């Protein structure tokens, strides 16, 4: 049975101010909860009796591209035991942030990462300049995971990666991608020895460009693109051409779609198998 105080605390986590104050965030659904348990300290798991009884047996053996998900039924999080509270469907509806509540909801402690780990001299780092839509952010985090990008640096005005909508959109990718918030200009200036890429209409065709295995890839705001002060720091401007070249288009690509194209091209060019020459 959930107390009124606990229900109030969980619902408050829908607001960034309270997530920051309490250092907590909410995840819902078997797949997401199971994938986050090995990576984040878990405070509580609230689930239906049916879920606890075995509706999620696939979690025991679920594996992904980057590793295994834990057995969520035991309530074993990164730091050990987790309170597993069996609740009725009506109680789950009271705390859920979804239109259609799932059979499990968990409250996790927000991680703390060192920005020094996101070193573009050693790896590709994704930088987001003012991304506003939680769904776009969540999708970009999934894209980063798929293409093996371990760190995302967000400008301070980018949407919160730990909001319920964003967490839901990541589908568990937060387990393998470290999302940090920083002054983007200062971060790039501090790492100015690395190539800094960004997409622009006047950039070089990305499919004809030489790309690096290391550096910073900047993706801009949905409506305004990359802000001028960040654009001034970009030394490798890229362009995603439409096809056929002479065909008129009605607008630009969605930022998450553009990110997927850019990341795929970087990985294709920098991780292609060697060409075997037969003599």
Q: Which domains, and CATH codes, for the chain? A: 4-109 (3.30.1330.30), 116-270 (3.40.1280.10)
pLDDT value at 72 more than 70 = no
**Paired sense of beta strands 76-77 and 63-64, if any:** unpaired
Q: Which residues of 241-275 are buried (b: 16+ CB within 10 A; e: fewer)?
A: eeeeeeeeeeeeeebbebbbebbebbbeeeeeeee
**The pLDDT value given to residue 274:** 47
User: Given pLDDT bands bounded at 50, 70 and 90, which one contains residue 82?
Assistant: low
Give the model confidence (pLDDT) of 249-263 as tens digits.
777 899 999 999 999
Distances (CA, A) of 192 to 15, 253, 260, 273: 35, 28, 24, 30
User: Given pLDDT bands bounded at 50, 70 and 90, which one contains residue 68?
Assistant: very low
CA pair distance 84, 87, nearest whole angstrom: 10
Distances (CA, A) of 204 to 59, 201, 226: 45, 9, 16
Give 112's contacts (C-beta < 8 A, 6+ positions apart): none
* Confidence (pTM): 0.88
pLDDT value at 70 more than 80 = no
**The pLDDT value given to residue 172:** 96
pLDDT value at 122 more than 60 = yes
When pLDDT is averaged across residues 33-42 and rounded to a whole number, the result is 93
């Amino acid at each position: 049975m959930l107390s009124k105080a606990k229900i109030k605390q969980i619902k408050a986590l829908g607001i960034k101010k309270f997530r920051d104050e309490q250092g907590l965030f909410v995840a819902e659904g078997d797949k997401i909860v199971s994938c986050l348990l090995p990576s984040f300290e878990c405070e509580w798991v609230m689930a239906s009796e049916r879920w606890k009884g075995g509706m999620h047996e696939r979690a025991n053996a679920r594996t992904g591209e980057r590793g295994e998900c834990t057995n969520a039924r035991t309530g074993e999080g990164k730091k050990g035991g987790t309170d597993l509270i069996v609740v009725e469907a009506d109680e789950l509806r009271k705390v859920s942030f979804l239109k259609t509540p799932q059979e499990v909801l968990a409250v996790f402690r927000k991680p703390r990462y060192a920005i020094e780990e996101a070193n573009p001299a050693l790896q590709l780092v994704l930088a987001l300049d003012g991304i506003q839509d939680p769904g776009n952010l969540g999708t970009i985090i999934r894209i980063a995971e798929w293409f093996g990008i371990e760190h995302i640096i967000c400008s301070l005005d980018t949407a919160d990666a730990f909001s319920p909508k964003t967490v839901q959109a990541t589908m568990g990718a937060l387990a393998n991608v470290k999302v940090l918030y920083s002054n983007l200009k200062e971060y790039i200036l501090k790492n100015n020895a690395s190539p800094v890429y960004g997409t622009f209409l006047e950039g070089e065709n990305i499919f004809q460009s030489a790309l690096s295995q290391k550096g910073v890839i900047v993706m801009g705001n949905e409506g305004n693109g990359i802000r001028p002060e960040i654009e001034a720091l970009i030394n490798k401007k890229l362009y995603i051409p439409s096809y056929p070249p002479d065909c008129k288009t009605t607008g630009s690509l969605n930022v998450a779609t553009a990110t997927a194209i850019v990341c795929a091209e970087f990985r294709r060019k920098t991780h292609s198998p060697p060409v075997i020459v037969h003599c």
